[in-house]
Structure 1
Amino acid sequence: MGLIKSLKLKNFQSHKESQIDFDEGLTVILGQTDQGKSAIIRALKWVLYNEPRGTDFITAGSKFCQVTLEMEDGSIIMRERDGQRNRYILVQNGQEQVFEGFGNSVPLEITSAHGIPKINIDRDATSAANLAEQLEAPFLISESGSNRAKALGRLVGIHIIDAAQRTTLKDIFDAEQRRKVLYKNIENLNNELLSYQDIDTIAEKISNLNDALKKLKQNKISLAKLIQMRQELESVDCEIEKNKSILLKLDFIDRMETNVTLIDALYVKHQYLFGLTRKLKQVIDSEKIEQDIISVTQSLALIENSYFTILELNKTLSQLISFNNNFKDNDKSLKHVNIILGKTQDVFNAEKKLLESQKLMEIAKKYLLIYNQWELVNQQLDFQKKVVGKYGQLEKTEQYLNSLTQKLSELFLLQDTKKSMINLELSIKKGNDYLQKVLNSLNKMAKEYSKILEKFAICPTCLKPIDEKTTQKIVLDILN
C-alpha cells in the first residue's frame, strides 16, 4: 500500500486552492461545519477511484478543476477536468504519462502508482477500506453479516475455499444438465431408430429397382438403335425406287450412241466450213483497207486545211499560256494581299483593302472568261483530233497527233489553272468576309466611342468641352 505525502486542490467545491500534507499512520480531518472537510474526502475518491462522476464538484464560476496527489515515493498523480478535457497525468521517475478516454474505470498505471485500490469483499461487493467519510460507521460495522463474514474470510484465506465450492457446485450443476440433455438425446435417437426397423427389406427393394432400371436403360438404347436402323432402311428403299425409275428412263441410250456418231461427222464438216469462212473474211478485209487508203489519198487536201487550223489553235494556245502566267502572277499578288490583310490591325485601311479585293475579283472574272474561251478551243481540238484520227496510216497525220498530245498536256495545265482560279475566288471571298467583319467591328466601336464622348462631353485630344454635333463629326471622320 502506498503512502500519500500531500494533496493539492484547485477549484474543487469550496477549495479555490488548498494543500494538505499527510503524516504516517491514521489521519483525521477536524473542523467546523461547511469548511470543506468532506470535499477533501471527495477529492481523494475522485483521484483514487474516479468518483464522483460529472462536473458538479467544480467551484462555482470556474471552468477548470485540478487535484494533485503526491506519493511518498515521489510519484505525482494529477487529475484534471474542464468542459472538454477529462484526464489523468502521471509523473513517475521523471517521465510524464497522460491518460484520456478511460470511461468510468481507473487506468491500471494510476492504480499501481498509488497502491490504494478498493477491497473486493465479493464478486459484486467492494469497499474503500482506507477512507471513511463523516458520520460513517467503523469498517465492516455498517456492512451486512454476509459481507462481514466474507471480509473476515478473505483475511484468513477462506474466500478461496468459498470460490472453490461455488465453482464445484457450478460444475456439478452443469454436469447434471449435460447428463439430462444426453439422456434426452439418447431417447430421441432410440425413437428414430424404430422407424428404421424395415431397412433391410427396403434395401433389397432398392437393389431390385436399380437392376430393373439398368435393364430399362439398356432396352431404351436398343430401341433407339432399332428406330435409327428402320429409318436408314426406309431411306435405302426410297433410293432403290428412285434408281429403278431412272433405269426405266435410260432405255434410249442405245439410240443415242448412233446419234453421237452422226454428230461427230457433222462437227468435222462444221470445222472445215468455219475455216473457209474465216479466210473469206480476211480477203474482204484486205479489199476494204485498200479502199480506205484510196479514200484517204483523195482527202489529202482536207488534211492540209486541218493542219493550218491546228497551227491557228496552237497560236491561240500560246496566248492562253501567257494568260495563265499572268494569272499565276496575280495569284501571288492576291496571296500577298491576303498576308497583308491578316497582319493588318488598322481598321481605318479596311475600305482601301476592300477596293483592292474588288479589283482582284474583276481580274479573276476576266480570267474565268478566258478559261471559258479555252474550253471552246479544247472542244475544237477534240474535233480535230477525231478528224486526224481517221487518217492514222499517214506520217503527216502522226505528226499532227503528236502535236495534239502536247496540246492536251497544256490543256491539263490550264485545268490546274482553273483550280487555282477557284481557290483565288475562295480567298477573295474570305477576304471580303474579313473586311465586312472589320467594317462591322468599326461601326460598333464607333458607336461605343460616340456614346463615351456623349457621356463625358470632352474632346479626347485637347480635353475641351464638346457638344453632340461635334461628337457626331468626330465619329464620321473615323468612319470615312
Structure 2
Amino acid sequence: MKYIKKIILENFQSHKYTEIELDPYLNVIVGPSDHGKTAIIRGLRWALFNEPSGDFFIREGEKDCSVTVIFSDNTKIKRYRSKSKNSYYLYNSQGEKTIFEGFGTKVPKEIIDQISMRKISLDGDQSNLINISEQLEGPFLLSEKNSAKANAIGRLVGVHIIDDAIKDTLKDIRNLNLKKKNLEEMLKKLQIELAEYDYLDSLIEIKDNLIKIKSSIYNSQVRLNRLIEISDSLKEISEEILFIKEYLNKLKNIDEMKEIERKLSNKINNFNSIFNKYSRLEAINRDIAINKAIIQGLKGVDRCSEINNLLSSYIDRMIKLDRISKLLKEANKKIIYNNQILKFLREIEKVRFNIEIAKSSYEKMTQLMSTKAKLDSINKSIAIGENFLDKLSQIDRLLMLKDTLENKYSRLKSLLDCYDRYNKINITKLDTEKNLKELEERLNSQLNRYKTLLTELKVCPLCFSSIDRNKIEEIIENFR
C-alpha cells in the first residue's frame, strides 16, 4: 500500500525548515496552540490539492516557500511558490524530474495520477476531501444533508452516472422539442415568403430571351462596325492608288535625269582637269605677281597706308556680302528641299496603310532623291567654280595685299568664333530664362492649388492643427 513517508516544509507560515517522518499506520501531531500543527495539514493540502491559493502563507521576511511530500515508493512531489514563480516538481522512483507551470487553480493530471488522491463530488459543485480534514471539521458526510449524503454515496459506487445520463437526456429532449418548434415556425414563414416569388420562373424565361436578343444585337453591331471599318479602308486604299498612279506619272522622266547626270559627271571631270592645270598656271602667275608687287610696292610706298585702309573696308564688305550670299543660297536650297519633302509627306498617313503596295515606288523615289541631291551638288560646284572664276579676275590687285589680308582674316576668324560663341550663349540664356519662367508659372499654379486646398481643409498638413488665413499665407510664402 502506498502512503506518505515524509513531509518537508520550508518557509511555510511558521515553519522555517521542518521535516516530519510519518508512520505507515497511525500518526498523531500534538503540541501547544499556535506552534504550527494546523500549518502542517494546510501545507499538505496545498501540496496535494493546490489549496489554498495565493502566496499569503510565505514566511514573513522570505521570498519563497515549498512543501515536499515523499511517498513510500520513493516518488516525490514538491510544491514551490514565490512572488514571480508557481511550480510543481514531480520526481519518479528513479529520481527523474518533471516541472509543471501555468496550471492555474487545478492540479496537473500527472500529479493526481501519481498520488491517487482526489476530491469527492457531493452535490452539484460541492466537493470534499476524504483523505485530509481541517481542524474542528466534523466526520465525513455526517454533518451533510440527506440529499448530499445520498449523492455522495451514489458517486462512490457509480450510480450518479445513470442520474447524470437521465438529466442530460431530458435536457436534450427539451432542447430538441424547442428547436423543432422553432424550425416548423421558420418553415411556415419561408413558405409564405416564397409564395410571393412564384412569378420568378416567367421572369427567368424573359431574361433568357432578352439575353439572346442582346447577344444577337451585339453580334450585328460588331459586324456593322467591321463593315464600316472595311468600307473606310477601301476608300483610303482607292485614294492611295490614285495618288501612287499620279506620282508614277511624274517619275516617267527619270531616265532623262540619269543621262543628264552622266553628262554632268563628264563635264565635272573635264572641269577638274582644267582646274588642276589652271592651279599650276596660277602658282606661276602668283610668283610673277609677287615679284611685280614687290617692285610696284617699292614705287608707291607712300600711298600704302591709304590703300590699306581702303582695302580693309572693301575686304570687310566683300566678306560680309560673300557670307550673306552663301547663307541666302543655302536658305533657298533648304526651302526648295523642304517644300518637296512637305509635298511628298502630305499624304503620309495614307501611305502607312499601303506601305507594302508602295514599296517599289518608294525605292524609285529614293533613287530620284539621290539623283536630285547629286544634281544639287553639281549645281553648287558649278556655282562655286563660277564665283571662284569671277574672283580670279581681280587676283593681280588682291595678291598685292596678301599678307595684310591673311592677318586680317585670322583676326576676322577669331572675331567670328567669338560672335558664334556669343550667339550660342545668348540662345542658352534665352532658353534658360524661358525654362525658369515656365517653372515659376508652374510653381505659382501649384502654390495656388495648395492654398485653395488649405483654405478648404483649414488644417495644417504637418501637425493637423487648425489654421487661419494668415497662417495659410505664411505657409505659402515659405515655399516661394
TM-score normalised to structure 1 length: 0.47
Larger radius of gyration: 1
